[in-house]
Amino acid sequence: MQDKILKQNKEAWDAIADDWFGTTALPIYGVFIPTETELSLFGDVKGKRLLDIGCGSGHSLKYHGDNGASELWGIDISTKQIENANRFLQESGYTPKLFNSPMEINPGIPADYFDIVYSIYALGWTVDIERTFRLISAYLKKDGVLIFSWDHPFLSCVDTEDDRLIFNGNYFETEPFTFQKDGNDLFAYNRKFSDYINPLARAGFAVEVLVEETDKAALEGGGEFRSNYYSPVKAKRFPLSFIIKARKL
């Protein structure tokens, strides 16, 4: 089943890569959540070695390159995303080291090497979160930092009915499901917070920050309407995205 999911998701991301060029990238972390400019979770990246898990078109890597990071590494399951990222970063004057591979295996990334490993709306695609956190832990130096963002676990459970929110899902339902993105079928997982926190602890991480916030624009009644799923009506009452910053002990 896991191989089937990875194959299907790779094909889908290859098909939609061009439409997603430059979206969901730093300083943006996710949906209606404060940006890196406001949160400063990365701190000063000057001279640091960074690895982006699910690097997409490379825009977050460029953000760090522009802030002085010394090495830009990335991994992504989509061949098309990696082609786009390589082209975009080279045109921007960088020489990244990018791997076209699922995050669930190590395609040749060095151990005890990185200051920061991060993932902007990509880590949640993993079919094996336990293994993914263990791999990331191995890539990091001692005291290295993991930062990642994804859908808040409540998001899939809550529907809107006019201005009301209805708890309509099942928080315990964590089996993979399919949905359509731009006409392509993808598999995804809803995970509980314990499905992140407990594997992080087992992989040797201590959580330092959990961001559960909605940005000012959405709280004040603004915020561009994206869909019933990512709706500002929901964002006013609970965070649609979360960010975790954890340190390798």
Ligand X SMILES: C[S@@+](CC[C@H](N)C(=O)[O-])C[C@H]1O[C@@H](n2cnc3c(N)ncnc32)[C@H](O)[C@@H]1O
Determine if 77 is a binding residue for ligand X (CB under 6 A): yes
Q: Which residues does residue 187 pair with via DSSP β-bridges, in sequence order?
A: 178
- Piece of the chain touching ligand X by CB under 6 A; list 31-39, 55-63, 139-147, 232-240: 55-63
Cβ proximity to ligand X: between 15 and 197 the closer is 15
- Could you please report the per-residue DSSP string of 127-150? S-HHHHHHHHHHHEEEEEEEEEEE
According to the binding rule CB under 6 A, does residue 136 interact with ligand X? no
Give the tokens for residue 20: 């997603």
Q: Is 28 helix (H, G, I), strand (E, B) or coil?
A: coil
Taking alpha carbons only, the member of 105, 46, 41, 96 closest to residue 74 is 96
- The answer to whether 13 contacts ligand X (rule: CB under 6 A) is yes
Closest CB to ligand X among residues 106, 198: 106
* End-to-end CA separation in angstroms for the chain: 33
| Axis crossing angle, helix 194-202 with helix 129-139, rounded to the nearest 10 | 40
Handedness of CA 153, 105, 199, 33 (dihedral sign): negative
* Nearest residue to ligand X on Cβ basis: 56
Q: Do 57 and 121 touch, CB atoms closer than 8 A?
A: no
The answer to whether 243 touches 118, Cβ cutoff 8 Å, is no
Closest separation between CB of residue 234 and ligand X, Å?
20
Residues in contact with ligand X, counted by CB under 6 A, come to a total of 24
- Select the span of 118-126, 138-146, 206-214, 232-240 touching ligand X (CB under 6 A): 118-126
Candidates 51-59, 152-160, 207-215, 217-225; binding stretch for ligand X (CB under 6 A) = 51-59
Q: Which of 78, 100, 137, 231 binds ligand X (CB under 6 A)?
A: 78
Task: List the one residue from 109, 116, 117, 120 that touches ligand X (CB under 6 A).
Answer: 120
| Joined tokens for residue 152 | 């808040």
125 touches ligand X by CB under 6 A: yes
For ligand X, the binding residue among 32, 50, 71, 81 (CB under 6 A) is 81
What is the binding site for ligand X (CB under 6 A)? Answer: 6, 9, 13, 24-25, 54-57, 59-60, 75-78, 81, 102-104, 120-122, 125-126
